[in-house]
Amino acid sequence: MQPIKFKMLMAATCLATANLAFADANVPSNDYKNEVLPVTCSQGLMLKDGFYIGANAGYDTFKIKLQPNAIVGGAGGAGLTGNLDVSSTGFVGGLYAGYGMYLNNWGYVGGEFFGSGTTANHHLGLSLGAARYDNDLQQYGNWGVSFVPGVKFSESTLVYARLGWSQARFKSTELAVFAGNVEGSTNISWRSGFNYGLGVETAVYQNISLRGEVNHTSYSNFTNGLGTKYSPYETQVMLGISYHLA
């Protein structure tokens, strides 16, 4: 029986889910010992560029440089002035969406919209005899936009920076009681600030990646009805999961 020649069935780059089967030329079909078995080869995970959406959560440290200026009972009345640094901690979570692209073998640029809420709200209470002072500052969440440049550490991992702008809604409540006189103020204010940070993102499955980052925002100062000045800022440690639409 004459040998039957085989030609290569397929020649292509190995894909993550593709199997490439081929047989050596000039090998008799009835000689199973010399046959080349199908070979499976896969490509490693890649962190894709393009559009993406995601959710994140983490730990928030919220700090305020507080300058009380409460004068109770009109001109010449009792007062409280000074400089205080107060802080609180809590959980933060939010959503984000963006677009990123690779410039070359190592460079990356992107843009991102984000929004989040936090439980890290400030409360300060002081009392001395009949005198009392309470100050509360609550943040109702923030939103912003960031420029996201990065460096490709590997095919699946990106190291990036965050440089952007954020805006938050604050509600301040102040109550001062001195010598039987009571003064109070409630103020709602939108404040903006510079947002910056560092992060790492890595692919874990096809279109899905995980990321971790630390970011900081310093908001602009504002003053309530009693003349107390607030200088809020916060630092967040976040973990996120992204879905890449490309």
Q: Domains in the chain, please, with CATH?
A: 1-43 (no CATH), 50-244 (2.40.160.20)
Q: Which residue has the tokens 């967040």?
A: 236
From CA 211, how far away is CA 199, in angstroms rounded? Answer: 7
The model's confidence at residue 72, banded by pLDDT at 50, 70 and 90, is low
Q: What is the pLDDT of residue 134?
A: 86
Could you tell me where the DSSP H helices lie in 55-212? none
Residue 221, pLDDT above cutoff 70: yes
The tokens describing 171, both together, are 């509600």
Confidence of residue 13 (pLDDT cuts 50, 70, 90): very low
Question: Stretch 42-64: mean pLDDT, rounded?
Answer: 89
Residue 15 pLDDT > 50: no
At 220 the pLDDT is 94
pLDDT on residue 11: 34
| 5 pLDDT more than 70 | no
pLDDT at 154 over 90: yes
Contact 88, 123 (CB under 8 A): yes
What pLDDT is stored for residue 79 in this prediction?
57
C-alpha pair distances (Å), 14 with each of 44, 204, 246: 11, 20, 20
Per-residue model confidence (pLDDT) at position 35: 52
Backbone angles phi, psi at 33, to 5 degrees: -70, -25
Q: Give the span between the Cα atoms of 168 and 173, in whole angstroms.
A: 16
Q: For residues 84 and 71, give the distance between their C-alpha atoms in angstroms, rounded to a whole number.
A: 17
pLDDT of residue 204: 95
Evaluate if residue 10 carries a pLDDT over 60.
no
DSSP letter for 74, please. Answer: S
Phi-psi region of 76 (alpha: psi -120 to 50; beta: other; left: phi over 0): left
Give the mean model confidence (pLDDT) for residues 226-236.
89
pLDDT of residue 214: 97
